[in-house]
Amino acid sequence: MFQSDLCTRDVIEIPVNITTFDQQTEQITSWAERRHHKMVCVANVHMLVEGWRDPEFANILKNADLLVPEGMPLVWMLNLMGLDYIKRVGGMELFLACCQKASAAQISIFLLGTEPEILTKIHQHLAQDFPDLKVAGMYAPPFAPISKDLDLELVQTINDSGAGIVFVALGCPKQEKWMALYRDRLQAVLIGVGAVFPIYAGIMKQAPEFMRNAGLAWLFRLGQEPKRLWLRYLSTNPIFMYLALKQIISGKLKKD
């Protein structure tokens, strides 16, 4: 097994994991079997720019046990470093792979986030796709910030459930901040999955593969939620392009 902190390269000063998808899912499964408290971030342009804007959030990302590249611009940056084998780690693909491995290893999972109706649909779909997978629990928190007392009660509930993997869908940066705050209290691997829940539940559509591979998944999502996402993309995509170009020009593309 690899040590994730030794297998990273910086993309706009945030360390991104450079191991293969299979190695990543094997490591997550190994952690989950041992009920290790770990934190996995699925990174895109928005997440890294949030880290650039907020030093405290940057420290959260830098201290993640595993930060994998979902956004194609991150993959392209890593490819420029000579890491041609690096591929995009889609949040949905990671979710499904971890569910498959959890089912085979008899690791139970916990679903945290979104809305009760969506969690119910996810549970139904998981029962069809992974009949042997045990869903130890589900919880849809209120939209308002969760109180500390409720958080601690939730932590206890998750630990008591025996779940080895907790999928957290609270949106970036809220989910990463929540995972960082309670990682050491939880006996499970925490994986931030963002919009995976509504997509898997069939509420939202996933971008076609050719758009995901072309780095245009954001454009597909913008078409589905223009009012909510237009400002995010307008304020993050140009910043990432500037910072990435600055890194390239400065020669800070560390290669093996």
- pLDDT of res. 4: 43
Instruction: Check residue 150 and give its pLDDT.
Output: 66
Tell me the CB-side half-sphere exposure of residue 66, using CA atoms within 13 A: 26
- At 151 the pLDDT is 84
Over 90: is that where the pLDDT of 252 sits? no
Q: Tens digit of pLDDT for each residue in 113-155? A: 999 999 999 999 999 999 999 999 999 988 666 566 668 899 9
Q: Which two tokens stand for residue 209?
A: 């593969």
The predicted structure's pLDDT at residue 1:
40
Q: What pLDDT, on the 0 to 100 scale, is given for residue 142?
A: 81
Which residue from 133, 153, 150 is spatially nearest to 142, judged by alpha carbons?
A: 150
pLDDT at res. 19: 93
- Host H or E run for residue 90: none
The pairing of beta strand 135-139 with beta strand 8-11: unpaired
For the chain, the average pLDDT equals: 92
Q: Which residue blocks in the chain are alpha helix, DSSP H?
A: 21-33, 45-53, 55-62, 72-80, 91-105, 116-129, 148-161, 174-182, 196-200, 209-213, 217-224, 226-250
Per-residue pLDDT tens over the stretch 54-97: 999 999 999 999 999 999 999 999 999 999 999 999 999 999 99
- In sign, the C-alpha dihedral spanning 158, 111, 42, 47 is negative
Q: CA 187, CA 38: separation in Å to the nearest integer? A: 8
One DSSP character per residue, 102-166 reads HHHHT--EEEEES-HHHHHHHHHHHHHH-TT--EEEEE---SSPPPHHHHHHHHHHHHHHT-SEE
| C-beta separation of 119 from 137 below 8 A | no
Whether pTM > 0.85 for this model: the answer is: yes
pLDDT (mean) for 25-41: 97
Task: Find the mean pLDDT for residues 2-16.
Answer: 79
Q: Which residues have C-beta within 8 Å of that of residue 156, sequence separation ≥ 6?
A: none
What local confidence, expressed as pLDDT, does residue 85 receive? 92
pLDDT for position 2: 43
- The tens digit of pLDDT for each residue in 159-195 reads 999 999 999 999 999 999 999 999 999 999 999 999 9
